[in-house]
Amino acid sequence: MVFIILGAGFEEVEAITPYDVLSRGGVSVCFVSASNEKLVAGAHGISIQADFIASDVHPAGRDAVVVPGGMGGVKSISASASACELIRSIDSENGIVAAICAGPSVLAGLGLIEGHNITCYPGCEHMMHGARCHSDRAVVTDGRIITGRAPGAAMDFSLALLETIAGEDSAAGVRRDLVY
C-alpha cells in the first residue's frame, strides 16, 4: 500500500498525480489525513476526502509513503505525531519514502535524508539538513528515497515512484497510455 499523507495546505497536483499514476499502474494507494479530520483542504481550494486518519493506519510489510509539498501541508504533517510516526514506521520497515517540493523537509526533520541525494523546491535547500541537494533535477532516486523538485515535476516524480514499486514495464505502460 502507498500512503499519501495530506496536511492542510498541501500542494494538490503533488498529491493527486501520484495517486492517479500509481492507481493506473495497479498499485494500491490511499490518502491519509495528518489531522483528525478526513476532509483536507489543499493550498489552492481543492479539498480531498482522506481514506484514513494517520493515527488509525498501521503499515505492514513493504509499504510506501508520499509527502506532498505545499508549506501549509508540510507544517501540518511535521506537527502531526501520528503522521511522523507513520513515516518513521515505513522507513524502519525498509519501505519506500517519497517526498516532493518542500515535502523532503519533513523527512529532514525526522533525520531520514541525511547523507542522501535528494531534490527539492529551489530555495528550500537550507531545510534539508545533511542531505545532498540537487534542486536542478526534477527527480532524484537514492535507494528507497525518491524526491521530486516542484509541482511541475509531479508526473516525473509519480512515474519514478511507480517504476520503483511496480517495475519499468508498468511505468512504461502508464507513460504510453498517458501519451507522456
Length of the chain as a residue count: 180
Residues sharing a CB contact under 8 Å with residue 82, sequence separation 6 or more, in sequence order: 34, 53, 54, 55, 57
101 is catalytic: yes
Q: Catalytic pick from 84, 101, 120, 124?
A: 101
3-class DSSP state for residue 82?
A: helix
Measured CA to CA in angstroms, residue 22 lies from 56, 92, 109, 157, 173 at distances of 22, 22, 26, 11, 12
Task: Render 24-78 in DSSP notation, one character per residue.
Answer: HTT--EEEEESSS-SEEEBTTS-EEE-SEEGGG----SS-EEEE---HHHHHHHH
Tracing cell 492517479 back to the chain, one arrives at: 20
Q: Just list the catalytic residues.
A: 101
